[in-house]
């Protein structure tokens, strides 16, 4: 139930209200006597306190209706109350057909059209539109030679000055009881309307489809959050505009029968249904529902020869890379310059960054773009395996002839294969196991790494000549935590993609978005994508808040932490026990006098892996 406020001009009306409330408990939240000049401010005060309906009388009610948006129930003198005043006037005048002047505001009185006939009087009404006109109306009545005036304080005072009989326009409990009953009925109707509106709003807010409400002229009256997402426009920007202006394919004539159509909105295919709202054979508007169509990836046409038929093709372009941030724009600026060269390119970046996509983009912008693009990882493969996969007769170098070769995790190459890579980059020759050179290795080499090669070269884990061949054209992909603009866009796109895929609709609260933007994302793009998948699948509310988001982060990445948390942990690192693996590495290094080669051999790991573990455990 809403709150009803009773604001009246006289104290006796409050007494009447108290008597009525003894008979029936109306939902009245407040009752006050107010001055007419304060009517609007007092009404706004009641609205601020939560009032949904105001009961008032006369000019006060008119002012409230004019200057506030709240429903106002007017206290109207009933026919019975007016009849009592007329009979009292006849008793005072003792005249068979007295002329009675009624002075006041029109909204205070009931219909008195037949009073003359019923009561044997001549009734003249003098209604004012504004308070300062009441005196004029009263003087006009006196000028018209009425026998008695019925009215409020002003009219009674003017009549007294003229020596004319008068009666104060007082009401009984009847008019106030009618007003209370009407306010209660209005409150009940408003409650039903609010509940229906809330149910419809909830339905629309959680709908998997975009919904737009149009009036008869095709003007947009309302739309739900999903439609905002489809249009990529805020509701406030389109309300009041013609739907055909925002969606030209929609047309202007809805007809009287529902129809469907396909539209292209922001590069997304949308299936739309227009359902006219018909009342008494007349179209009063329409409801438009839109649903995104899921796209199937088309196969890349085989247009570049046999090498492409084997899958050796680079699909990535520079425009496919997130580049809202200044750091990434600088990265791509360098990469585009390097694409003009035929020399080897080294791409540094953490796990999950766009290393392969950047390599594909360089290939497609370079001189070798019409040749094959072959990529493989050096990690987890022994010396023989690396040779066969890269430098063998049917290896990657042979397959990439005339194109580009991408070696991922180049730091994992063994020493012998590092030497072969040097020969390939420097002399364009492929060195076999027997030392025979194949001089026809026309390949553009690109490599990726997630560790600084300078430290590997310093530790002896990488040949110095290879290091200097690779270091010339180096491009570093900044991690997402250093690219806030790219991170925000990636989060938005990943969440939208998951919502579309699972036909769901969720939005992040400000706190949740802030939490995700400040998270470290050590797995970068891959971590963001998998996290968003989990977040959307497990969310049970349309609005995803900070608490739920933090819970998912802790469940997925218990060993990870935010930057501030990491700082706190580092401050107390000395309190943690040293891992057994770190102790073993330190003891082995000590036993071999710091020789990294002997230590790696004794531990059964590569020098690169030893370098990583030393960095991990802060061992020198």
Strand boundaries in 493-610, DSSP class E? 507-508, 543-544
Instruction: Give the CATH architecture of domain 79-170.
Output: 3-Layer(aba) Sandwich (3.40)
Report the 10 Å Cβ neighbour count for 232.
9
The topology under which CATH files domain 306-476 is Rossmann fold (3.40.50)
8 Å CB contact between 471 and 608: no
State the first-to-last Cα distance of the chain, in angstroms, to the nearest integer: 74
d(CA 226, CA 201): 12
CATH 3.30.450.20 fits 207-292, yes or no: yes
E strand or H helix at 156? helix 153-161
Q: Which residues contact 193 (CB under 8 A, 6 or more apart)?
A: none
Length of the chain: 620
d(CA 361, CA 365): 6
d(CA 318, CA 328): 11
- Position of tokens 């002399």? 427
Buried b (16+ CB within 10 A) or exposed e, 318-351: beebbbebebbeebbeebeebbeeeebbbbbbbe
* Helix%, strand%, coil% for the chain, nearest 5: 50, 20, 30
CATH number for the domain formed by residue range(s) 480-573 = 1.10.8.60
d(CA 390, CA 414): 12
Strand boundaries in 280-343, DSSP class E? 282-292
Q: Which of 576, 593, 588 is nearest to 613 (CA)?
A: 588
Phi, psi of 220, deg, nearest 5: -75, 120
Q: Which of 305, 345, 613, 344 is nearest to 475 (CA)?
A: 345
* 3-state class (DSSP) for residue 433: coil
d(CA 122, CA 46): 42
Phi-psi region of 503 (alpha: psi -120 to 50; beta: other; left: phi over 0): left
Phi, psi of 2, deg, nearest 5: -85, -175
The pLDDT score that the predictor gives to residue 294 is 63
Domain boundaries, the chain: 1-75+172-205, 79-170, 207-292, 306-476, 480-573, 577-617
Q: Which of 505, 539, 496 is nearest to 202 (CA)?
A: 505
CA dihedral 389, 392, 395, 397 (to 10 degrees): 110
d(CA 231, CA 290): 10
d(CA 273, CA 257): 11
Q: What is the mean pLDDT of each run of 10 residues along the chain (620 residues)?
A: 84 90 84 91 92 90 89 92 93 91 91 92 91 89 95 90 92 89 88 80 76 89 89 90 86 72 78 86 86 57 46 83 93 91 93 94 90 91 90 89 92 90 90 75 90 81 89 94 93 90 85 93 93 91 90 86 45 57 84 79 79 75
8 Å CB contact between 71 and 149: no
d(CA 475, CA 460): 23
d(CA 93, CA 368): 115
> DSSP for 161-230?
HTT--EEE----HHHHHHHHHHHHHHHHHHHHHHHHHHHHHHHHHT-SSEEEEEETT-BEEEE-HHHHHH
What is the side-by-side strand order in the sheet with 72-74?
28-33, 3-8, 51-56, 72-74
Q: Is 452 exposed, middle or buried (0-12, 13-18, 19+ CB in 10 A)?
A: middle
Phi, psi of 72, deg, nearest 5: -120, 125
d(CA 298, CA 547): 40
Report the 10 Å Cβ neighbour count for 101.
26
- Position of tokens 């909105």? 265
The pLDDT score that the predictor gives to residue 328 is 94
* 3-state class (DSSP) for residue 285: strand
* 3-state class (DSSP) for residue 275: strand
Return the CATH number of 1-75+172-205, one of 3.40.50.2300, 3.40.720.10, 3.10.110.10, 3.40.50.720. Answer: 3.40.50.2300
d(CA 74, CA 601): 97
What the block records as the tokens of 247 is 């969606």
d(CA 471, CA 460): 16
What the block records as the tokens of 290 is 């839109």
Angle at the Cα of 459 (from 457 to 461), degrees rounded to 5? 65
**Do 306-476 and 1-75+172-205 fall under one CATH topology?**
yes
Angle between helices 58-67 and 39-48 (to 10 degrees): 60
């Amino acid at each position: 139930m809403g709150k009803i406020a009773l604001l009246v001009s006289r104290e006796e009306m409050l007494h009447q209200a108290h008597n009525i409330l003894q008979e029936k408990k109306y939902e009245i939240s407040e009752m006050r006597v107010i001055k007419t000049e304060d009517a609007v401010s007092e009404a706004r005060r009641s609205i601020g306190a939560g009032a949904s309906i105001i009961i008032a009388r006369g000019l006060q009610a008119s002012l409230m209706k004019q200057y506030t948006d709240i429903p106002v129930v007017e206290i109207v003198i009933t026919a019975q109350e007016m009849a009592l005043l007329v009979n009292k006037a006849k008793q005072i005048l003792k005249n068979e057909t007295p002329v009675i002047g009624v002075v006041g505001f029109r909204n205070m009185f009931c219909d008195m059209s037949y009073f003359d006939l019923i009561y044997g009087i001549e009734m003249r009404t003098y209604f004012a539109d504004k308070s300062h006109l009441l005196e004029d109306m009263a003087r006009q009545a006196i000028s018209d030679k009425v026998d008695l005036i019925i009215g409020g304080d002003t009219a009674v005072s003017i009549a007294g000055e003229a020596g004319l009989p008068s009666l104060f326009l007082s009401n009984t409990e009847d008019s106030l009881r009618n007003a209370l009953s009407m306010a209660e009925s209005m409150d009940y109707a408003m409650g039903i309307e609010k509940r229906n509106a809330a149910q419809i709003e909830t339905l629309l807010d959680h709908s998997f489809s975009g919904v737009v409400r149009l009036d008869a002229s095709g003007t947009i009256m309302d739309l739900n959050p999903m439609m905002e997402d489809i249009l990529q426009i805020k509701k406030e920007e389109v309300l009041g505009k013609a739907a055909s202006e925002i969606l030209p394919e929609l047309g202007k004539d809805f007809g009287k029968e529902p129809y469907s159509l396909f539209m292209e909105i922001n590069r997304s295919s949308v299936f739309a249904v227009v359902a006219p709202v018909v009342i008494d054979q007349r179209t009063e508007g329409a409801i438009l529902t839109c649903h995104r169509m899921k796209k199937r990836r088309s196969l890349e046409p085989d247009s570049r020869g046999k090498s492409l038929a084997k899958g050796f093709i680079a699909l990535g372009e520079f425009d496919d890379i997130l580049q809202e941030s200044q750091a990434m724009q600088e990265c791509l600026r360098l990469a585009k310059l390097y694409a003009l060269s035929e020399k080897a390119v080294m791409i540094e970046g953490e796990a999950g960054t766009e290393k392969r996509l950047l390599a594909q983009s360089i290939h497609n912008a370079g001189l070798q773009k019409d040749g094959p693009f072959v990529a493989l990882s050096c990690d987890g493969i022994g010396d023989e395996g690396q040779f066969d996969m890269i430098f063998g007769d049917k290896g990657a170098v042979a397959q990439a002839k005339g194109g580009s070769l991408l070696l991922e995790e180049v730091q994992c190459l063994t020493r012998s294969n590092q030497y072969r890579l040097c020969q390939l980059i420097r002399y364009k020759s492929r060195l076999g196991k027997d030392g025979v050179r194949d001089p026809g290795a026309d390949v553009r080499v690109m490599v990726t790494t997630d560790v600084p090669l300078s430290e590997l070269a310093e530790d002896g884990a990488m040949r110095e000549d290879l290091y200097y061949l690779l270091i010339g054209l180096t491009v570093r992909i900044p991690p997402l935590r250093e690219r806030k603009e790219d991170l925000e866009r990636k989060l938005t796109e990943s969440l939208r993609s998951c919502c579309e895929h699972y036909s769901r609709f969720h939005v992040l609260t400000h706190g949740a978005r802030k939490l995700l933007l400040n998270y470290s994302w050590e797995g970068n793009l891959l971590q963001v994508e998998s996290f968003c998948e989990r977040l959307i699948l497990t969310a049970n509310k349309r609005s995803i808040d900070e608490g739920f988001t933090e819970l998912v982060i802790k469940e997925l990445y218990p060993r990870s932490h935010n930057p501030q948390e990491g700082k706190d942990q580092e401050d107390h690192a000395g309190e943690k026990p040293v891992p057994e693996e770190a102790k073993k590495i330190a003891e082995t290094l000590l036993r071999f006098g710091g020789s990294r080669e002997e230590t790696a051999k004794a531990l059964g790991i590569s020098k690169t892996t030893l370098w990583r573990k030393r960095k991990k455990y802060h061992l020198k």
